[in-house]
Amino acid sequence: MSIQIPRGTQDILPGEVEKWQYVEEVAKSLCHNYQYKEIRTPIFEASELFTRGVGDTTDIVQKEMYMFEDQGGRSLALRPEGTASVVRSFVGNKMFGYPNQPTKLFYSGPMFRYERPQAGRYRQFVQFGVEALGSEDPAIDAEVISLAMGIYKELGLTQLKLVINSLGDADSRNAHREALINHFKPSIDEFCGDCQNRLEKNPLRILDCKKDRDHELMGTAPSILDYLNDESKNYFEKVQTHLSDMDVEFVVDPTLVRGLDYYNHTAFEIMSEAEGFGAITTLCGGGRYNGLVQMIGGPETPGIGFAFSIERLLSALEAEGIELPIEHGVECFIVSLGKEAKDYSVKLLHTLRAAGISSEKDYLDRKVKGQFKAADRYDAKYVAVIGDNELQENKINLKNMSTGEQEEISLDHFVEKMKNKLGK
């Protein structure tokens, strides 16, 4: 009986995994330039962390979380997103007391949501995210947004659209909330059950409904921008000014609603406009969450962050036809002839690798022709050929596979010669 991979998951095989490593390293390198430090949190957490932090009216909590009870009767959940876990760690480890503030963190790892699998969307997916905790300066909002855009641009993406909005402060949101309730309430029975449940709890989430997005009341719903008080307006204008000063192009979209309950003030999404990318164009989403730290038991601490799926990033790169500069080949392949040379090649291979040279040899007792074919499959830059006679004479033959040039080198100087040729 064959055991199948669980639906909504994938194996990332050699040849493909190098793309993942490359984009993750680019993102991490840019985070380092911005002084964001890596944090690693557990894959499973107390279920309450997400019901409180993400919000019990969200699809994530209501429909998509993988929850289970452990042997001790504790309710646990595989993490569906990264922000709540990072904030839980921030509070539990008292990072708010660190001398350098704001606390700037990034994370990368698998997340889990039970949703319908489709192109670029899986039940286990890898998310890369950033959180900046401890500052309510609009400049941090602009910095976080520019970092997100910078990662995509560093990888060569050009067909991008940055959309921003303000959800306002508590007073602005309350005023907008009442306006939304009054707008939808007379016809709420025309909406889906989820929207009906959200009317009183969180009417802003109605605007994010996929089932009823074409309902005529969606297009005429009150705009949050009309309910921003002076403080919220000034904050949003300052964010826009900083982005313009950074030459970060953006579009203001008053209908943009983030799907989690903890957002306020700045919200943003980055979308791909590449032809053929697909119906779901969002690559990255984020925003400010000034109340989340207190909700999880910490002191009053503002925060802002973003997260994106590595799977969707790779899909966007493919849609734009971008080839990543990934080295697939080895630097040196050893071909051996004879028993003594074969035994010696084991030691030589180890010496090359210890010197930082990517190397390989034959392990299947192939003939010389077969070993050269294997070197071609490995896309070897150089092939080093040694037989029993060469070993006795303390020599080895080296062939440059791109030029065909060959030379005989003393074994005593072989590793150093290879390092010089490879610029190591």
- Integer Cα distance of 110 and 56 in angstroms: 22
Contact 8, 122 (CB under 8 A): yes
The lowest-confidence range among 62-66, 71-75, 100-104, 267-271 is: 62-66
pLDDT tens digit string along 100-129?
A: 999 999 999 999 999 887 776 899 999 999
For 391, half-sphere exposure in the C-beta direction (CA atoms, 13 angstrom radius) is 16
Asked whether residue 174 carries a pLDDT value surpassing 80, the answer given is yes
pLDDT for residue 57: 57
172 falls in which pLDDT band (50, 70, 90)? confident
Query: Do 259 and 165 fall within a single domain?
Result: yes
For 22, half-sphere exposure in the C-beta direction (CA atoms, 13 angstrom radius) is 18
Contacts of 108 (CB under 8 A, 6+ apart): 24, 27, 28, 38, 126, 127, 128, 129, 310
Query: Do 64 and 159 fall within a single domain?
Result: yes
Element (H, E) at 348: helix 339-354
What is the distance of C-alpha 54 from the center of its chain?
A: 19
Query: Do 307 and 378 fall within a single domain?
Result: no
Percent of the chain with pLDDT over 90: 72
Question: Residue 312 domain-assigned?
Answer: yes
Question: Residue 186 domain-assigned?
Answer: no
Query: Do 339 and 310 fall within a single domain?
Result: no
pLDDT tens digit string along 358-383?
A: 999 999 999 999 999 999 999 999 99
Query: Do 284 and 409 fall within a single domain?
Result: no
Query: Do 315 and 340 fall within a single domain?
Result: no
Q: Which of 258, 288, 319 finishes a domain?
A: 319
What total of structural domains would you count in the chain? 2
Question: Residue 372 domain-assigned?
Answer: yes
pLDDT tens digit string along 1-42?
A: 789 999 999 999 999 999 999 999 999 999 999 999 999 999
Query: Do 146 and 264 fall within a single domain?
Result: yes
Q: Which of 319, 345, 363 finishes a domain?
A: 319
- Integer Cα distance of 108 and 121 in angstroms: 17
Query: Do 314 and 340 fall within a single domain?
Result: no
pLDDT for residue 257: 75
Contact 119, 244 (CB under 8 A): no
Name the residue range of residue 359's domain. Answer: 332-422
Tell me the average pLDDT across 199-215: 80
Beta strands in 58-159 (DSSP E): 67-69, 75-78, 103-112, 124-133
Asked whether residue 176 carries a pLDDT value surpassing 90, the answer given is no
The lowest-confidence range among 68-77, 106-115, 211-220, 385-394 is: 211-220
For 312, half-sphere exposure in the C-beta direction (CA atoms, 13 angstrom radius) is 25
Question: Residue 206 domain-assigned?
Answer: no
The lowest-confidence range among 39-53, 122-136, 234-248, 385-399 is: 39-53
Query: Do 356 and 248 fall within a single domain?
Result: no
- Integer Cα distance of 31 and 151 in angstroms: 9
Tell me the average pLDDT across 297-313: 95
For residue 379 the two structure tokens come to 């896309």
Percent of the chain with pLDDT over 70: 97
Element (H, E) at 284: strand 282-288
Q: Which of 270, 288, 319 finishes a domain?
A: 319
Tell me the average pLDDT across 273-292: 86
Question: Residue 260 domain-assigned?
Answer: yes
Report the CATH number that the domain containing residue 116 is assigned in CATH. 3.30.930.10
Query: Do 276 and 362 fall within a single domain?
Result: no
